[in-house]
Each structure stands twice: as C-alpha cells, then as structure tokens.
Structure 1
Amino acid sequence: MKEVLVLLPDSPYSDWIIQKVQLLQGTNYDFACFGVERNYIKSPVCTFMMPGSSAYQEFIKKKNKYDRVVIHYHTQETGFFVEKSQIPSEKLVWVLWSGDLYNSKFYKKPLYLRQTLLWKEANTTELKRNSKLKEYVKSLLGKINSYDYQKSFQRIKYIGTCFPTDVNEADDTFGKCYIIIPHNILSINELFEVNSFATIQSTGTKILLGHSGAVENNHLDGIDLLQKLRISHQILCPLSYGGEEYIKAVISAGNNAFGDKFQPLTAFLPKIEYYQLLTEVGFAVFFLRIQQAFGNILGLLFLGVKIFLPKENSIFIDLRKKGFLLFSIEELSKKAISNGLNEQDRLQNRSLILKLYNEEKIAESYERMYLGSMNNVE
C-alpha cells in the first residue's frame, strides 16, 4: 500500500483538501503543517510542528517511508524539509497555489501597475535582504533559510495545477521544465453555493472592482482607468482583508474619483450573503496580473457577470482556451460596460463550469494526483 505525505498551509481550504484525500482508497496518508497555532485547520489528523522541534526531528526519521510527497503552497519551511530530508525528485509534487510562486522573492516579473507601484514604493520600507553567505550559514546550522528554499525548486519535478500558464511562469523563474499533473483543488460546491446559484443570476449593472485589499489587485490603476472612461455605474470594491494603509488609500482614491458611487466593502460577509450581493453586479474588473480570485471569478461567471482581466493573467489565458467568454482589460471601454452578456453567453460559461468543476471531475483529479502513476504524466 502506498504511503503519501501531504504538507499543507494553515488555510481555510486545507480541511476540504484533507476530506477529499481521505475519501481515496488504497493509500495511507499523513498530513502535516509546519506551524504552531491552528488558525484554520480543524482536522485532528493534521499534525502541527515547527522545524527544529523534537516532534519535527521524529517526523524526519519517517521520511523514507513515503512513496509520494505532495506540497500544497511551497514555502521556506517546506523547502527546508525537502532539502534536509533529501526527498527524491520522483516523489515530489508541488501543488501550486499561485502566491507561492508570485510572492516568492525569486519571481521577477512586475506584479504592480504604475499607480499602485508608485504608492507601494512610497509606503514600503524594504529591509535589506540577507546575503547568500548568511543564508548558507543558516543552512549549515539547521535553520530555515532561503538558500535551501531556492534549491528545493530545482529538486521538484512535478507541479499540480489546472493552470498550465502558471507552470510556464515557474519554468521561466527557475530555469526548469516542470511536468504538469492536471489538478483542481476544489469543486464548485466548495467555491460557491452552487445549489443556490442554480436559480439566480446577475441582474444588476454595478461594477465589481477587485476581490480583496491585497495590493496585487492594482485598485489605484483600476480607479484611474474607470475615471478616465467617465463611467456612471456604482462600483462595489471588496476590501475585507489586506493591508490597512493600502485599503485606506484605495477608499480615499475611490471616494475622490466617484463620490458616493464608490462602495467599499470592508466587513467580511458570509459566502451566501456575499454572492447574493453580487447579483447586483453586471460587470467585474480585475487588474490582477497574476492568478488570484479564481473562486470569485468562477462564481461571477456562473451568475452571468461580464468579466475583464489583464491578458497576461493565467486565469484569462487558460479559461479562454477552455472556451469561456472573458474579456481583456484592453477591451474595457464605456461601451463594453454598457452591454452585459447575452443569455447564450451566460449559459455557455455556466455549462462549462458545471462540466469542468463538478464533484466527479474533482474526484478524478484527486485520484490522478494521489493514486496515479507519475510515469503516466510524462
């Protein structure tokens, strides 16, 4: 019987992942998170530990028993583990969540558009990075370090994702040619209330700007462009989490540009209430240059919202290849946001979501990831 180790971040999604993995037969699983406090993971089968602790040292002794090691969200802690344990490449799969690539210091392409970059440069005090020598010394001393973290990306052979474009970005970043294992982490049932959504659709004309207060949303550039287009729509702007100072800057810019037509959403809403609010939205504009907000985007497409994304965003690239109707930021105009999707286009997007992200498809994805032969994906 196969032995599989699943390394997880302390994320709201991790319990769902654990539940889906536990449904698989024919393999024994261990779940671990390199942390101390449980903020999100509630499942008791997931062991929490910190590198260097006695529990961690005992854990490392079992490394050779695993036939496969699946890393969700690759960090310095997971990189330290695979390097110090010398996990063979053939056993390693990195399930790429997006942020573990784009927010790593190794990714060099720009995340920010002009207005947002100017704000960030004016409001960020960059700490001097530790030298490679210092990081190497940390490695010798058995401490978490960026030296082993960077090396670990070379050790990895496989990437699990439903976004081939993200793998191309990882290839370019690390000078590798990773092998893709097609994998969807969550079904539409976890991403949004599909049963409730089956009887509702968007009927409004509001514009949704971004999905959170994360700086990668480039809100300031979005506000600038929408102001130049002289739009008259009300604008909903979700800002329930992110950097406090950045959120203040976005609210100030939005109020200055649109007055009371700009509606910041700073309180966290239960999922069903949030998506009910989105039925007032006819258009959604994301200035994300990277893959974020996938669940939000699928939910909006299911509701029939017309979505605009930068053409370099992997969600835009890969969903367009699958037949979804999305639009690029370059196509954004006053005319484009005065005409919503027609019924045929709405049904096309909804039917593709039901076809590609249903429970059966996700179950197949998990079987492929955790039970399938690595040789079959090469």
Structure 2
Amino acid sequence: MSKKILHVCNADNFIPPFIDFIEKQFGLDGHFFWINGDFDFYPVKQHKSAYKVKKSITGQMIGFVKLIYLLNTSSKVILHGIFNPRVILILFLMPWLLKKCYWVMWGGDLYVYQLGEKNWKWKVKEFLRRPVIKNMGHLVTYIPGDVELARQWYGAKGEYHECLMYISNVVDPDMIQEAQAGSEEHLGINILVGNSADPSNNHIESLEKLLPYKEDEIKIFVPLSYGNHEYAKKVIETGKAWFGENFVPITSFMEFDEYLKFLKTIDIAIFNHNRQQAMGNTITLLGMGRTVYLRSDVSQWFFFEDKGIKCLDFNLFNKKFILSKDAKSNSKICLNYFNIIMLRHQYSEIFK
C-alpha cells in the first residue's frame, strides 16, 4: 500500500468518469480511491481499487479509521476537493501529512471563505481549514486566479500544478465539429441560465436582465436538478411568472451524453456566478462556438481572457452574439488546450 497514490473523494458526478480515465490512461495498480457520500444519488461501481464508506455510524467510524491508515501509508494523497469536516480535522491533527497532499481545487471549497454564512460553525471550520490550506503541499487547478486567492485568504504556500482536473473540462473534437456544422433547428434564441440550483448562480438577477426581451422569440432553459430545492422552487415560480411558457426549468437529471446533446441547442449562455463555477459547461459551449456571458469580476473571466478566449460581460448583457471570427477562435483555442492529451500529461507530471 505504501507505493500507492491515494485519492480522497466525495461521491459526485465527476468521480466515476475520473476513475475510468485513470484506469485507461495509467492503470489502477498504483491508485486507490477512498470515497464517502450518497452512493444512491452518485453511483460508483464496485472495484478492488475503490473503498466506499458505508452510511451507518459503524461504517463511518471504520471508514475514517481506514482513511487515517491510508493517509499515513500512501506515497501521495490527491484530495478531490476539501469539503468533508472530518477529513479536514484529520489533516489538522496530522499536519505531517500535508506536504504530500495535492488539493484539487473545486471552487466551492475555496470560496466558502468569501461566501459562507459567517456563523459560529463557519468560524470553527475556518479555524481548522486555515492551517490545513496554508500548509498544503500542492495546489491543483487550471485557474491561476484561484491559487492567488488561496494565497491571499489563507497564506497558502503550496506548489501550483496546472491541471484540467476532470474529463468534464475536456472537449470532444467530434462533438465540436458537429456543433459547428449547425445547432439543431429551433425558432428564436435558446438561452441557458446557470448550471444548478445553487444560489451562487444568481438566477433572479439573470432573469431580470432578460425581462426587456420577454416579448422576443426567446426560450430560457434553467438546469435545477441538483442543489438547493427551496431555492429552485423560488427560481421556478419567478421564471414562470415573468416568462410563462418561455421559461423551461430542467428538474430531472440528464445523463452526460443527453446533456451534451441539449447544449448543442443553446445559442447564448448566462453564467452569472459570483465565484468560479460551471467551468465544464462554459468550456463545452465555448468549444461549440456559442456565446457565453460571464461576470467580469470572477477568476474564470481573467483565465479565459489570458487564454485569448472571448466571453461577454454579463453586466453589459444585450442579447447579442459574439462575432463569428471570435467564435471560431474560441473553438480552436479550446480544442488545443482542453483536450485529453493535455489532461493525461498534466496528471503524469503530478503522479511521477
């Protein structure tokens, strides 16, 4: 076990495809996945290289005892987000582990510093998180702005490793070519608003921007299949009241291929998040040559700007499309950077 690379994961949509990626590109002999979470909602197939922590109290106790052993005996530790308070507590109490830890930064695990509800629970968690993040040996992301925020907010000293992180951030050349050939036939303009029922999407503000165009031929699609259900209900009520049948909430989970097919029908996307989020959606749409509106004060805006990718400023929303030459340039840049060869190379550097 001492030579293995340990992956510490919460059950999520990203993890099963990531395990498949590791298996195909590197083989699983050198890797072990410790996974905790709701396996009914996020299924993970049984595998000798994966340990699924059981929901029961006993199962949780056994799982975290096993984690402590694995953390101390593995050569490297890849932390797929740092959300779990128990994992953070273990790292807080065992700081010698941090030098071999690679924090794959998801966004929400960083921006809780800025956006979390500042109550006593937040203060306790931040007390534990601060030294863990500060002394984390390695920071893994492809958005330098997030690394800078980790250094600014927590004094993070870890080495930065540029990495696309997950398959969801890789564009499929065949899909791009097919999308560029033309979107599926539809009347008017299809507009995507947000990517989840997380309040950080700021749906209501986005819908307000669309109100001047409510009499135009537009159809507004809003993915709300996961996140805060009460918040989703409020968004649906508002959207229906303002736009009637032209507001289409998506409340059922779509399989990945089905979702990609849906994205091909989108003309304009609005991602009015107040933090780095929805990058997989954004990258896919930009690769397809679609128009994407973002806030200009978030780290992904500066990331895309640095890569030469053209997005439009949400604050200046006017229902216009990007220029054809910019759409083609965006697609080319996305194909050259967000690809499986790049992802494999980046992880090979981390694993070696």
Quickly say closer, same or farther: Cα 1:52–1:319, change in 2 above 3 A: same
2:86 aligned counterpart, secondary structure: helix
1:94 aligned counterpart, secondary structure: strand
- Structure-1 residue corresponding to 2:332: 351
TM-score scaled by structure 2?
0.84
- Structure 1 residue 194, shift from structure 2 partner: 4.7
- Structure-2 residue corresponding to 1:332: 317
The farther-off stretch of 192-201 and 49-58 is 49-58
1:360 partnered with 2:345: no
1:20 partnered with 2:1: no
- Structure-2 residue corresponding to 1:69: 77
Residues 192 and 271, structure 1, Cα contact 8 Å, conserved in 2: no
In the TM superposition, what whole-angstrom CA distance separates every residue of 1:30-87 from its partner, at most 9, and x where no partner exists? 2212458563322522113479724543553454433321111112122122233333
- Structure 1 residue 311, shift from structure 2 partner: 0.7
In the TM superposition, what whole-angstrom CA distance separates every residue of 1:282-326 from its partner, at most 9, and x where no partner exists? 211111111111111112112221111001222221012111111
1:241 aligned counterpart, secondary structure: coil
What is the letter of the counterpart of residue 31 of structure 2?
Answer: Y
What is the letter of the counterpart of residue 147 of structure 2?
Answer: V
The farther-off stretch of 287-296 and 45-54 is 45-54
Quickly say closer, same or farther: Cα 1:246–1:92, change in 2 above 3 A: same
What is the letter of the counterpart of residue 95 of structure 2?
Answer: Q
- Structure-2 residue corresponding to 1:247: 232
Question: Which is greater in Rg?
Answer: 1
What is the letter of the counterpart of residue 322 of structure 2?
Answer: L
* Separation (CA, whole Å) in 2 of partners of 1:130 and 1:244: 22
- Structure-1 residue corresponding to 2:45: 42
Quickly say closer, same or farther: Cα 1:52–1:301, change in 2 above 3 A: closer
1:198 aligned counterpart, secondary structure: helix
- Structure-2 residue corresponding to 1:369: 350
Q: Alignment RMSD, CA only?
A: 3.0
- Structure-2 residue corresponding to 1:220: 204
Unaligned runs of 5+ in 1: 112-125, 136-144, 372-378
- Structure 1 residue 29, shift from structure 2 partner: 2.4
What is the letter of the counterpart of residue 243 of structure 1?
Answer: N
- Structure-1 residue corresponding to 2:87: 78
- Structure 1 residue 277, shift from structure 2 partner: 3.2
- Structure 1 residue 24, shift from structure 2 partner: 2.8
| TM alignment of 1:3-152, pairs within 5 A | 3-22=4-23, 23-24=25-26, 28-35=30-37, 37=39, 39-44=42-47, 45-49=49-53, 53-54=61-62, 56-75=64-83, 76-102=85-111, 104=112, 107-108=113-114, 110=115, 129-130=120-121, 147-152=127-132
What is the letter of the counterpart of residue 5 of structure 1?
Answer: L
Residues 207 and 283, structure 1, Cα contact 8 Å, conserved in 2: yes
Quickly say closer, same or farther: Cα 1:55–1:331, change in 2 above 3 A: closer
Identity %: 23
TM-score scaled by structure 1?
0.78
- Structure 1 residue 241, shift from structure 2 partner: 2.2
Residues 5 and 77, structure 2, Cα contact 8 Å, conserved in 1: yes
- Structure-1 residue corresponding to 2:147: 167
What is the letter of the counterpart of residue 84 of structure 1?
Answer: L
Residues 304 and 346, structure 1, Cα contact 8 Å, conserved in 2: yes
Quickly say closer, same or farther: Cα 1:78–1:199, change in 2 above 3 A: same
Quickly say closer, same or farther: Cα 1:161–1:58, change in 2 above 3 A: closer
Candidates 187, 190, 201, aligned match of 1:206 = 190
Quickly say closer, same or farther: Cα 1:93–1:278, change in 2 above 3 A: closer
What is the letter of the counterpart of residue 31 of structure 1?
Answer: F
* Separation (CA, whole Å) in 1 of partners of 2:163 and 2:171: 19
1:280 aligned counterpart, secondary structure: coil
* Separation (CA, whole Å) in 2 of partners of 1:61 and 1:262: 51
1:195 partnered with 2:174: yes
- Structure-1 residue corresponding to 2:247: 262
1:53 aligned counterpart, secondary structure: helix
1:320 aligned counterpart, secondary structure: helix
2:52 aligned counterpart, secondary structure: strand
1:78 aligned counterpart, secondary structure: helix
Quickly say closer, same or farther: Cα 1:147–1:299, change in 2 above 3 A: same
Unaligned runs of 5+ in 2: none
* Separation (CA, whole Å) in 2 of partners of 1:55 and 1:237: 37
